[in-house]
């Protein structure tokens, strides 16, 4: 429904989005979330390296901490962006019927 195509209601989800629209928004949120996870993990790694100054004895634990921060930050960001896109009104304004020029 976001794309403006006529789709049977049985093929739409609970907020009236077709599978293609949902998957495209989820893919865009995933791409952005990887960047956010990388930024958070890099900032944490720099903080650990410069201020904590870990010993070589437990370096595996610190690497695990940075990887966990990357995973959690990217996951939270992805779900937040996806939810904002699904519930926001901005995407509905940008939707145009197929075959029409959006500008």
CB 63 within 8 Å of CB 48: no
Is 6 part of a structural domain of the chain?
no
Is 103 part of a structural domain of the chain?
no
Is 59 part of a structural domain of the chain?
yes
Is 3 part of a structural domain of the chain?
no
Q: Which of 62, 63, 73 is nearest to 40 (CA)?
A: 73
Is 98 part of a structural domain of the chain?
no
44-100, pLDDT tens digit by residue?
999 999 999 888 888 999 999 999 999 999 999 999 999 998 887 554 445 555 666
pLDDT band, residue 32 (cuts 50/70/90) = very high
Is 5 part of a structural domain of the chain?
no
In the numeric block, the tokens 């995933």 are attached to 30
Write down how long the chain is: 103
Is 23 part of a structural domain of the chain?
yes
Domain total of the chain = 1
In this structure, what are the phi and psi dihedrals at residue 97, rounded to the nearest 5 degrees? -60, 150
- For 29, the domain range is 11-87
Is 94 part of a structural domain of the chain?
no
Global pTM reads: 0.75
């Amino acid at each position: 429904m976001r794309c403006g195509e006529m789709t049977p209601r049985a093929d739409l989800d609970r907020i009236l989005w077709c599978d293609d629209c949902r998957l495209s928004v989820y893919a865009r949120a995933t791409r952005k979330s990887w960047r956010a996870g990388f930024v958070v993990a890099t900032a944490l790694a720099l903080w650990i390296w410069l201020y904590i100054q870990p010993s070589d004895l437990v370096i595996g634990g610190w690497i695990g901490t940075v990887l966990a921060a990357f995973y959690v930050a990217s996951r939270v960001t992805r779900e937040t962006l996806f939810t904002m896109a699904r519930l926001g009104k901005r995407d509905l304004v940008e939707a145009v019927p197929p075959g029409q020029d959006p500008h």
